[in-house]
Amino acid sequence: MTVVTKTEKEKIFAAFESVLDRCARCQKEEDRQKIRKAFQMAFDAHKNNRRKSGEPYIYHPIAVADIVVNEMGLGITSFISALLHDVVEDTDYSLEDIRSRFGEKIASIIDGLTKISGVFDSRSSLQAENFRKMLLTLSEDVRVILIKLADRLHNMRTLDALPPNKQVKVAGETIYLYAPLAHRLGLYAIKTELEDLSLKYRHPLVYQELLNKIRDNEKKRLLEINRFSLPIIEKLTQAKIDFEISGRPKSIYSIWHKMQTKNVPFEEVYDLMAIRIVFEPRPRIPEKTQCWNIYSLITDIYKPKPDRIRDWVSTPKANGYEALHATVMGPNGKWVEVQIRSRRMDEIAELGFAAHWKYKDQKNASEGELDKWIRRIREMLENPEHNALEFLDEFKMNLFSSEIMVFTPKGHLRTLPKNATALDFAYDIHTDIGNLAIGAKVNHKLVPLNYILSSGDQVEIITSEKQKSQEQWLDYVVTAKAKAAIKNAFKEERRKRIENGKQLLESKLKELGMRPTSRILQKLFSEYKVTGKDELYAHIGGESIPLEELKKVLKKKRKSKLTRYWTLRFGRASTEKTIPPETDDLKQQEDEEFDFKAPFVLQENPDPDKISHKIARCCNPIPGDDIIGYKSPNDNVIIIHKTNCPTATKLIASQADRIVSARWETHKVLSYLARISVKGIDRIGMVNEITTVISKELDVNMRSLNFDVQDEIFEGTIDVYVHNTQDLNNLIMNLIKIKGVDTVQRVNISED
């Protein structure tokens, strides 16, 4: 790398001084000298390094420090740590150099950042384990995580410099773990930006389309905000309240997410904006009282929607968020969300845990609740046998969960995630109580262990020394602590059953002169409706699958419904090979975890002679869908997912080194199963007309159809075999033309 030029050096020092001047908590001269000393060390360490974009590397730590002090509001210690966060990892300076110049606290933070620097390195196959290690720092110094989030935010802001496949990987990691972590720590502004940037690189065309629509509607939105706000401004001014009012558009990601989850177009996402009122509290009057007073003044003007009041001033969220939310009917006949916060609440809402340093002398419930959550994460981390990927799943599950408040028989308050059950409560009290639980009393009434609790419930657990934890309990609980305890309780027993089952199967096959090949196992998976070897062995070891009929099962033959072969080309190599289907029975394919092999081209060329591939059942991609490949570590198979598949997002985040780019070839040899839903006004002959369009006019094969009629409105689902998305879209366009049909859309095929 080239050394920085004189002009570049002048610009670098000017950029640093600009950050320092804007730092509100860096006004003492001795502090500023200490920060300049740290910057000089960082500059000397990185002066020969450049980023992928070509700019001097030192711009990165300056930018991270800017986010830390001017966007998160942290102080001198964090400023210095951000400037030096890559020094020990990337240069010749040691941790001892940091300790001798800046003290133990900064050295400790740098040490934490250095240990987790490779958390989502695309070359690492241990991302999940590294992320687990990173979270260990939560209970030591949360500033390590905050600086790491700032580091990720700047990397996302400068992601243009990376090639597209790297962009997708980094964006996938961000949306899967970093954005939820920012949310849980209360960093809403950063969480929103991470989500939007992730969408920009994962689905660039969708992002740009939504951005254009928001910009096109900006003038109209401002007029609506002004029209809605003027009566409120007048009312609050008359009441002599010191306040600021602003309208904020819904983020691009949240609009896209609502379009996906609600299955609606952009035009039907009605809550595209929210009004925020931030007031300066009057002394000696509780902030909560002042929030409700403002709410009363607003509802004198606009009618509220009673079921949409969210009172987080009485009971703050676990991440410290406090506000009063109300939804009212605006003058244009649309619902508008109004958020009411004090100045202190607003700072905590935007900066989350970072704002707690400012209010650390105040004993408030939010800080205590966040500390409790951090302790729960620590409990998850302290389990030495906890599988890293399982931990990743459970941590992710607990990031976004809403909370409920329940009481013990003695009136002590416990916080649990929404939809927690009586069994979750038992494990929350103590693992032994959970393992011995046989029932519960909720509000003095006897209920089963899978009873879902509500806020305000008083819960008593009934135990028995004869009770043992059961595998089906995993379906009863939602908390990570309960799941981990249940898994630990029967993990050893299951391991023994698997080993026993494996030995029994191998012994029986040996008697028949066979060995457990992939083809034989696939046949057994299909016959016994299991998803993998461990499940098969466990059933055999537990005697729920007898082996007396094994010879008969293996001799079963299936009639061929699919007789054609197809050609595969891998990567840029010219090697071609013709591959017959592993099975010709479509029904068997649908019962297995993954469907039959299908034509695609790998853009990153593994070994074309050794790699086969399968279609993932979780998202069921068909030619025309954007796809990626995941190289399975066990059987050298590449599994094809849609790029927006939640499972694919998780794999990108946890095992990025196994992700390969993939694209479809132009092909019309195979048919793929897809499902469409149809809704409209019922009339005589409607179903016949729909099936005629599908079967006769378009010559599309149907596997099944299901229609239901209520109050003259029909809803139906149709499973059809198509060649690609173009065929499917053509089918949808023809069905929507039928008189009485209101909506036709593709839906995912759930795994039965």
Distance, in Å, from the CA atom of 349 to the CA atom of 321, rounded to the nearest integer, reads 5
Average pLDDT, the chain: 78
The answer to whether residues 325 and 436 belong to one domain is: no
Is residue 124 a part of any domain in this protein? no
Q: What pLDDT is stored for residue 355 in this prediction?
A: 61
In which band, very low, low, confident or very high, does the pLDDT at 14 lie, cut at 50, 70 and 90? Answer: very high
Q: Are 467 and 436 in contact (CB under 8 A)?
A: yes
Residues 6+ apart with CB under 8 A from 707: 687, 714, 715, 716
Question: Do 357 and 372 fall within a single domain?
Answer: no
State which residues form the domain around 720. 672-747
Q: Would 462 be classed as within a structural domain? A: yes
Number of residues that make up the chain: 752
- Tell me which of 506, 524, 555 is where a domain ends: 555
pLDDT tens-digit readout, 146-175 = 888 899 999 999 998 888 888 888 888 888
- For 462, the enclosing helix (H) or strand (E) is strand 459-463
Task: Indicate if the pLDDT at residue 298 is higher than 90.
Answer: yes
Binning pLDDT at 50, 70 and 90, where does residue 294 land? very high
CATH label of the domain that carries residue 694: 3.30.70.260
Q: Do 386 and 425 share a structural domain?
A: yes
91, part of any domain: no
Domain boundary among 336, 362, 388: 362
Looking at residue 648, what is its pLDDT? Answer: 83
Residues 633 and 704 both lie in one domain: no
pLDDT band at 564, cuts 50/70/90? very low
Residues 271 and 401 in one domain: no
Do 632 and 679 belong to one domain? Answer: no
**For residue 726, how many C-alpha atoms fall within 13 Å in the half-sphere facing its CB?**
7
Distance of CA 671 to the CA centre of its chain: 32
Flag whether 718 is in a domain.
yes
Strands (E) across 80-230 are located at none
| Spatial contact of 431 and 424, defined as CB atoms under 8 Å apart | no
Indicate which residue of 71, 89, 371, 584 is catalytic.
89
Question: 100: which residues sit within 8 A by CB, 6+ positions away?
Answer: none
Measured torsion, CA atoms of residues 389, 390, 395, 396, in degrees rounded to the nearest 10? 70
* Residue 408 within a domain: yes
Question: In terms of domains, do 303 and 220 share one?
Answer: yes
Q: Work out the average pLDDT over 235-264.
A: 87
Distance (Å, whole) CA 310 – CA 275:
15
| pLDDT for res 497 | 83
Q: What angle do CA 600, 604, 607 make, to 5 degrees?
A: 85
Shared domain for 358 and 319, answered yes or no, is: yes
Do 320 and 385 sit in the same domain of this protein? no
For the domain that residue 385 is a member of, what is the CATH number?
3.10.20.30
How buried is 615 (Cβ within 10 angstroms: 0-12 exposed, 13-18 middle, 19+ buried)? buried
In this structure, the answer to whether residues 431 and 348 fall within a common structural domain is no
* Torsion sign over Cα 371, 373, 379, 384: negative
Q: Which two tokens stand for residue 446?
A: 């006897």
Q: Which CATH number fits the domain that encloses residue 237?
A: 3.30.460.10
Q: What value does the mean pLDDT take over residues 290-313?
A: 90
Q: Tell which residue, 569, 558, 499, has the closest CA to residue 534.
A: 499
Structure tokens at 183: 């949310």
Give the model's pLDDT for residue 453. Answer: 92
Q: Which residues contact 324 (CB under 8 A, 6 or more apart)?
A: 291, 292, 294, 295, 309, 310, 311, 312, 313, 339, 340, 341
Q: What is the pLDDT of residue 398?
A: 52
pLDDT at 572: 32
**Do 496 and 537 form a contact (C-beta atoms < 8 A)?**
no
- Tokens 């004993």 map to which residue? 363
Structure tokens that stand for 445 in this block: 């009434």
pLDDT digits (tens, 9 = 90+) for 673-727: 888 999 888 778 888 888 888 877 667 778 788 888 776 778 889 888 887 787 8
Q: Has residue 255 got a pLDDT over 70?
A: yes
Planar angle of CA 682, 685, 687, nearest 5 degrees:
70
Answer whether residue 229 shows pLDDT above 80. yes
Summarised one tens digit per residue, pLDDT across range 404-440 is 778 888 877 787 888 899 999 999 899 889 988 988 9
Per-residue tokens: 382? 């302290």
Question: And the tokens for 360?
Answer: 């650390």
Domain endpoint, select from 499, 534, 555: 555
The question of whether 89 is a catalytic residue gets the answer yes
In a domain, 168, yes or no: no
117 has a pLDDT exceeding 60:
no
**CA nearest to 325, candidates 366, 395, 275:** 275
| pLDDT at residue 738 is higher than 80 | yes
Which member of 8, 55, 90, 591 is catalytic?
Answer: 90
Answer yes or no: is pLDDT of 575 > 60: no
Q: How many domains does one find in the chain?
A: 5
- Mind giving me the DSSP string for 210-264? HHHHHHHTHHHHHHHHHHHHHHHHHHHHHTT--EEEEEEEPPHHHHHHHHHHHT-
In a domain, 618, yes or no: yes
Nearest to 585 by CA among 559, 565, 566, 614: 559
Per-residue pLDDT for 558 more than 70? no
pLDDT tens for each residue of 344-391:
888 888 776 656 555 544 444 334 555 555 655 555 555 544 454 555
- Categorize the per-residue pLDDT at 666 as very low, low, confident or very high, splitting at 50, 70 and 90: low
Residues 254 and 334 both lie in one domain: yes
On whether residue 580 sits in a domain, the answer given is yes
Calculate mean pLDDT across residues 311-316.
84
Residue 219 and residue 355 in one domain: yes
